[in-house]
């Protein structure tokens, strides 16, 4: 049941999100030009709470903070203390636009807690996500279909920031991988009676679906990089899918979301190293020997590519394995700590485990093109990692399946 926006909501416009954050001097320096962003919000985003109807709570989550690999000297140092859940808890609600030209449009509300509950960090993340979307959606090149679309939002009297995104799918890549893995586990029970032709068709469809999912995510990332924006939070949960039916793969449109940690890498900002949320990135850049603005920018792009490589590995190993065989953290430890990013050694290990053969066969396509791409994206030397466009045009993406 949909309800009108609760009466605890103020009538302030979304621009008040930015205005309320001006109290944080350190963060105000890290935002995209406020004047331009406010103009964009007023001109193209719905900013009145009366324009929305809020529905049921559909989920909540926190952000995981994981120390990223940044050099050979750091390999093997991923420990329990390096992994933790951030203090900011996000709530998700379904809803719709109640008036105007977009009346009836389904939306998903992403709710950041007020400063009292989430601290300054929550305000920083909300403002950063707002500014990132406003900037990307103002591009003269038009909107990218592989990024979620911000349609508006509002602020409550308690300081909560409600960002409204067009509802283009309720499942994430993580949901798809989990459901597919569970389906594979159930199917293995009666595998002997499973029609071999049907089995081959299912595997073929799954490979195509996974490849197209990853391709769409990389197109979205390439668009961001082309517009001087890093994602910095790329993972299976940050890719939204309009379908998880493998038979409908031709209509699949993956979209990147969760831009709360997005970083502006235009040269004035890179040179000054602005933004509290990007401090960790620039520390890793310095540890990897990237000091000049050009080197820091290149490191930031390569850092996103590394995260995308981990996403690719996740899709390969989780989607083509049974339930509880592999998860994101155990996969990261396997690749980084156990095999020190040596993908050939990883392949040999996986060949000896029947539970991982599905992933091996997927990456083996086109004479090992998948392993080749994965090794390039996870190269210990950030200078040798490919850019997003090169990943999209790799032979695994253009010839092996798609």
Query: What's the pTM?
Result: 0.85
Q: What's the pLDDT at 71?
A: 45
Place of tokens 């939306």: 107
* Distances in whole angstroms, Cα of residue 1 to Cα of each of 98, 170, 317, 400: 14, 17, 39, 46
pLDDT, one tens digit for every residue, the chain (402 residues): 444 444 444 434 344 434 433 333 332 333 333 334 444 444 479 999 999 999 999 988 776 544 444 444 444 333 333 434 567 889 999 999 999 999 999 999 999 998 777 678 899 999 999 999 999 999 988 889 999 999 999 999 989 999 999 999 999 999 999 999 999 888 764 555 557 788 889 999 999 999 999 999 999 999 999 999 999 999 999 999 999 999 999 999 999 999 999 999 998 888 776 678 899 999 999 999 999 999 999 999 999 999 999 999 999 999 999 988 999 999 999 999 999 999 999 999 999 999 999 999 999 999 999 999 999 999 999 999 999 999 999 999 998 676
Kind plus residue range of the DSSP H or E element containing 126? helix 115-136
**Helices (runs of H) and strands (runs of E) counted in the chain:** 14, 11
User: What does DSSP say about strands 150-155 and 161-166: parallel, antiparallel, or unpaired?
Assistant: antiparallel
State the Cα–Cα distance between residues 356 and 349, nearest whole angstrom.
9
Place of tokens 């994981």: 66
């Amino acid at each position: 049941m949909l309800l009108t926006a609760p009466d605890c909501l103020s009538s302030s416009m979304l621009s008040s999100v930015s205005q309320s954050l001006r109290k944080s001097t350190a963060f105000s320096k890290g935002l995209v030009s406020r004047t331009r962003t406010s103009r964009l919000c007023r001109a193209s985003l719905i900013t009145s709470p009366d324009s929305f109807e809020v529905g049921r709570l559909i989920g909540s989550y926190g952000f995981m903070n994981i120390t990223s690999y940044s050099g050979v000297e750091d390999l093997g140092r991923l420990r329990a203390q390096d992994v933790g859940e951030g203090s900011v808890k996000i709530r998700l609600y379904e809803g719709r636009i109640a008036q105007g030209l977009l009346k009836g449009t389904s939306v998903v509300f992403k709710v950041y807690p007020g400063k009292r509950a989430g601290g300054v960090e929550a305000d920083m993340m909300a403002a950063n996500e707002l500014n990132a979307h406003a900037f990307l959606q103002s591009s003269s090149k038009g909107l990218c279909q592989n990024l979620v679309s911000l349609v508006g939002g509002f602020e409550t009297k308690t300081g909560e920031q409600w960002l409204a995104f067009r509802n283009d799918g309720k499942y994430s890549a993580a949901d798809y991988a989990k459901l597919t893995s569970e389906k594979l586990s159930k199917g293995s029970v009666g595998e002997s009676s499973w029609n071999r032709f049907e089995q081959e068709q299912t595997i073929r469809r799954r490979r195509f679906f996974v490849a197209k999912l990853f391709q769409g995510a990389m197109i979205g990332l390439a668009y961001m990089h082309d517009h001087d924006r890093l994602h910095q939070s790329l993972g299976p949960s940050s890719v939204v899918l309009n379908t998880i039916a493998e038979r409908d793969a031709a209509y699949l449109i993956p979209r990147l979301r969760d831009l709360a940690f997005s970083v502006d890498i235009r040269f004035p900002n890179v040179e000054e190293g602005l933004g509290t949320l990007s401090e960790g990135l620039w520390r890793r850049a310095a540890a990897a020997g990237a000091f000049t603005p050009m080197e820091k920018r290149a490191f930031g792009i390569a850092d996103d590519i590394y995260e995308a490589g981990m996403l690719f590995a996740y899709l390969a190993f989780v989607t083509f394995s049974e339930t509880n065989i592999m998860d994101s953290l155990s996969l990261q430890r396997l690749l980084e700590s156990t095999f020190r990013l040596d993908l050939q050694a990883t392949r040999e290990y996986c060949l000896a485990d029947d539970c991982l053969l599905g992933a091996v066969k997927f990456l083996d396509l086109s004479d090992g093109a998948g392993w080749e791409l994965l090794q390039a994206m996870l190269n210990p030397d950030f200078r040798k990692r490919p850019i997003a466009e090169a990943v999209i045009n790799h032979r695994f993406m253009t010839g092996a399946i798609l």
